[in-house]
Structure 1
Amino acid sequence: MLQTNSNDVDEHCASLGHWRLSYDQLSAGAFRGGFTQLSLPRVEVFRETTSQQVRQCGRIGCSSFAIGLPWQSAGEINCNGVRIAEANIIGCLDADVDMCTPKGFELRGLVMEAALIKDLAATLNIELPRTLWHQLGVVETTTASVARLRHLLTMIYETILVTPSVFEDPAVCRTLEDSLLFEVASMLPTIRLREYGRSTAARKRTVELACELMLASGDRHISLLDVCKAVGASPRKLGYCFHEVLGTSPMHYWRAMRLNRVRRDLKRCTDRHSGVYDMAVRHGFWHFGQFSLDYKRHFSELPSETLRRARPA
């Protein structure tokens, strides 16, 4: 069993086992993250908590099937460019992950090989919907199936808190895995990925292009008006697209992403000739006093403190 707690978003990412995800902290404040993973022979059961709003990108694993159940949140979840409610199931089958989660978020779920799902479907003579493959989105199934899976996950984590040694018994793990696979198999006949209209896809493409322009600018100056012109959207329309897809404004997102990049540079810096100012300017922060204030507000520490920890004593 894997159990970790982190006070840094990058350290939290590194603790996610073999998941190949990168997180960027979007909201301001000290980050706290927790990850628990119970590995059964063919199924991984996980629980993840994050205190701040983050954007998650990457892959759960090559050719993996994942089901995630939002457990509690203080805001909206934006999944693959769509706002979703806490009651929904998030699913992906051999797909990339692109999700924005709110402050105080908890996600519980299962991960297994896509081949195992294909075998289950073949055994039950079920044809999985084509839309389920290679996409992350809201998975729809019966209310009763979701309720049973939630109840099972609740019991698992209650046991982990009280008597985790129970899961050291191979017989217990096999029985638990059978129960989880039974619940997944019961979902398969009714499972489908919720489909959205062309406008949703168009908003996501607009945001993706805008983000590419923002983050590829580097030392070259580019304004939000330049971004609007390049993507063919008015400032108002671009703001609407960002709120729908990422749950934040273009300006806030751009500043947060640049702050994350500065922080990563500071944490990797061992060159005593490089200072905070050099790294701030590299990512477009020209007013050093304002940058220091923004950085401390976002990460609850001064940039000099981050750099001090990175350098050898």
Structure 2
Amino acid sequence: MMLTAPICLDSAPIASSPLLDLASTDVDEHCENLGRWRLSYDQISGGPFMGSFTQLSLPRVEVFREVTSQQVRQYGQLGADSFGIGLPWQSGGEVNCNGASVTGAQVIACIDAEVDMCTPKGFELRGIVMSATLVAQLASALDIELPRGVWHQLRVIEMDEAPVARLRALLTMIYDNLSKTALAFDDLAASRALEDALLLEIMDMLPTARPCAAGRTTAARKRTVALACEMMLANDDRPVSILTVCKAVAVSPRKLGYCFQEVLGTSPMHYWRAMRLNRVRRDLRRCDDPQAGVYDIAARHGFWHFSQFSLDYKRHFCELPSETLRRARAAQRPVRAR
């Protein structure tokens, strides 16, 4: 079905500065650049992090492009009453959402739901975020019955290829133009016309949406990983035995390894160490106690062998933990009046 009817619901005024374009060299800094999205990112793979986030704000729609260099786990919310569609653009590996990977004409849909997904190294995601209420209003105005199975959880959605291709073409056009000049989007009439085209494509896509049902094996692996992570991260202040975790979730070490590789793209021990390193880094960046040292903060997260911790930290974030703490304290230091 191809819609041609105009979208005529009331439009909100366009933002005075419609374009946000930020780059970062730190995963937490990148996360802070996401604006109102209430998401947390953990860097899973080791190496220098490079990220960028570009967002074009139209009257009722936000069009975004996100690039991350390292494997990342994203979790949280886009915001209350938010609807989002994401299209993997460039990828060095599989994107995993709730144990399901995205391929072909599939998209990632988040409608008033929690976000939890793992993205590979060298990943680019483009998409659209708007109000879930707006989507429901448009569907009612255009007499479209939305598939209820895509609401209230992050899902991999199968769509007809034609509307997905048209949306890809629109997003390509938008960012090609942004790279040349952003001034074209400052005009209110042009912004509303572009928004109208995007909304029509989305409303043409949604009736074809078919949630990709996770098989029993995939669902079981997701539950196993969730239980194991809950146990491991609840005890990040002391060493954890994989055998203890396996016993608690009733699987063999080999089976647990398969589950983690399928769902998170890494091994259980690598994931657990990466999560603890991310937590140490956050504590170092936020440390406001002048008496606290790197060792004190590392010990809170179960790192007792300090030289090995420093080596692991530098491999993961490409700087020593003392450098992270020194930079954080320099940023907190008040600037003296001349």
Q: Same fold (TM over 0.5)?
A: yes
- Matched-pair contact (CA < 8 Å) for 1:95–1:135: yes
Residue 31 in structure 1 maps to residue 49 in structure 2: yes
Give the corresponding residue for 2:228.
Answer: 210
Moved over 4 A (4+): none
Deviations 1:5-59 (A, max 9, x none): 1111111111101101000000001111100111111111000000110000001
Shift of 1:87: 5.2
Q: Tell me how far 1:221 sits from its aligned partner.
A: 4.1
Cα distance in 2 for partners of 1:56, 1:87 equals 22
Q: How big is each residue's C-alpha offset from its partner over 1:256-277, in whole Å with a ceiling of 9 and x where there is no partner?
A: 0000011111111232322111
Q: 2:81 aligns with which of 50, 63, 86?
A: 63
Superposition TM-score, scaled by structure 1 size = 0.97
- Contact 2:61–2:128, Cα closer than 8 Å, also in 1: yes
Aligned to 1:179: 197
Q: 1:248 corresponds to which residue?
A: 266
Q: Distance in 1 between matches of 2:105 and 2:197?
A: 22
CA distance in 2, matches of 1:168, 1:148: 24
Letter of the structure 2 residue corresponding to residue 116 of structure 1: L
Query: For residues 136 and 97 of structure 2, what CA distance do their matches in structure 1 show?
Result: 24
Residue 256 of structure 2 is matched in structure 1 by 238
The structure 2 residue matched to 1:75, chosen from 74, 77, 93, is 93
Comparing 43-52 with 117-126, greater Cα deviation is found at: 117-126
Helix, strand or coil at the partner of 1:41: coil
Alpha carbons 2:101, 2:156 under 8 Å: kept: no
Question: What is the match of residue 170 of structure 1?
Answer: 188
- More off after superposition, 254-263 vs 269-278: 269-278
Q: 1:221 to 1:74 in 2, by over 3 A?
A: closer
How much does 1:100 deviate? Answer: 0.3
Asked if 1:278 is matched to 2:293, the reply is no
Find the aligned partners of 1:84 and 1:249 in 2 and give their Cα distance. 21
Choose the corresponding residue for 2:123, options 105, 116, 125.
Answer: 105
Task: Provide TM-score, normalisation by structure 2.
Answer: 0.90
Counterparts of 1:56-205 in structure 2, within 5 Å, are 56-85=74-103, 88-205=106-223
Whole-angstrom distance in 1 between the partners of 2:305 and 2:110: 42
Tell me, in whole angstroms, the C-alpha distance in 2 between the residues paired with 1:159 and 1:4: 17
Could you list the runs of 5+ residues in structure 2 that have no partner in the other structure? 1-18, 334-338
Letter in 1 for 2:254: R
| C-alpha separation in 2, matches of 1:241 and 1:251 | 13
Return the offset for 1:220. Answer: 4.3
Alignment partner of 1:222 out of 214, 217, 240? 240
Asked if structure 2 preserves the Cα contact closer than 8 Å seen for 1:50 and 1:104, the reply is: yes
User: Alpha-carbon deviation of 1:79?
Assistant: 1.0
Is contact 1:72–1:86 with CA below 8 Å preserved after alignment?
no
2:33 is matched with 15
Contact 1:121 1:188 (8 Å CA) reproduced: no
Counterpart secondary structure, 1:150? helix
Question: Of the candidates 61, 71, 74, which is equivalent to residue 43 of structure 1?
Answer: 61
Cα separation, 2, equivalents of 1:87 and 1:102: 19
Q: Percent identity?
A: 69
3-state SS of paired residue (1:284): coil
With over 3 angstroms needed to count, the CA separation of the structure-2 counterparts of 1:284 and 1:87, relative to structure 1, is: farther
Shift of the 218–254 alpha-carbon distance from structure 1 to 2, 3 Å rule, reads closer
Conserved in 2, the CA contact under 8 Å of 1:266 and 1:276?
Answer: yes
Retained in 1: the 8 A contact 2:105–2:164?
Answer: no
Q: Distance in 1 between matches of 2:218 and 2:81?
A: 26
Q: 1:220 to 1:29 in 2, by over 3 A?
A: closer
Q: CA-to-partner distance for each residue in 1:281-305, whole Å, 9 max, x for gaps?
A: 2111122111111110100001110
* Aligned residues between the structures: 313
